[in-house]
Amino acid sequence: MATIKIKDLSFKPFINEDELQPLIKKVANQINKEYAGKSPLFLFVKLASYEGTESKGTVNELIGLNESLEGRDVIIVEDIVDTGNTLEKLYQIILDKNPKSLKIATLLYKPEAYKKDFNIDFVAKEIPNNFVVGYGLDYDGFGRNLSSIYVLNQ
């Protein structure tokens, strides 16, 4: 796999699909085990705090959550946890809806960038504090469709 260019930036191969699959499976198994006999509600919500490659430190309001979370075992599913700003906001909004329990699952987690205290319960892979694209993660709307994850060339 070669270096790629997205808009003005160049990215190099970082984690390929073959490496991601077993990591995702592992998290899925963990969740299956922990929630055996329960019926958790997975929330794939989006609250991007990003503009380009830099976190703004502020997040937008949560849009489009119509289901009742009252008494439910809720799992927030994130693509990536960076500073944790997005998650903190989400956490508060969701806790206000009185779920029975609330946990967080994420594909990627940047421990060096994380600034919050609450626990990230399920993590497929920890990565260094660099900007990544692919596998659903975009750079200004581009690169989301890449089957592997690429990291910014610095």
Applying CB under 6 A, which residues contact ligand 5GP?
48-50, 55, 78-87, 131-133, 137-139
Nearer to ligand 5GP, 41 or 113 (CB): 113
Nearer to ligand 5GP, 41 or 152 (CB): 152
Bridge partner list, 104: 76
Closest C-alpha among 138, 104, 105, 123 to residue 6 = 138
Shortest distance (Å) from residue 26 CB to ligand 5GP: 21
Tokens of 85: 């700003």
Nearer to ligand 5GP, 38 or 116 (CB): 116
Shortest distance (Å) from residue 99 CB to ligand 5GP: 20
Are 101 and 76 in contact by the 8 Å Cβ rule? The answer is no
79 labelled catalytic = no
Check 82, 96, 121, 138 and give the catalytic one.
Answer: 82
CB count in 10 Å sphere of residue 42: 12
Going from the C-alpha of 149 to that of each of 11, 60, 65, 77, the distances in angstroms are 9, 25, 29, 18
Shortest distance (Å) from residue 86 CB to ligand 5GP: 3
Active site residues: 82
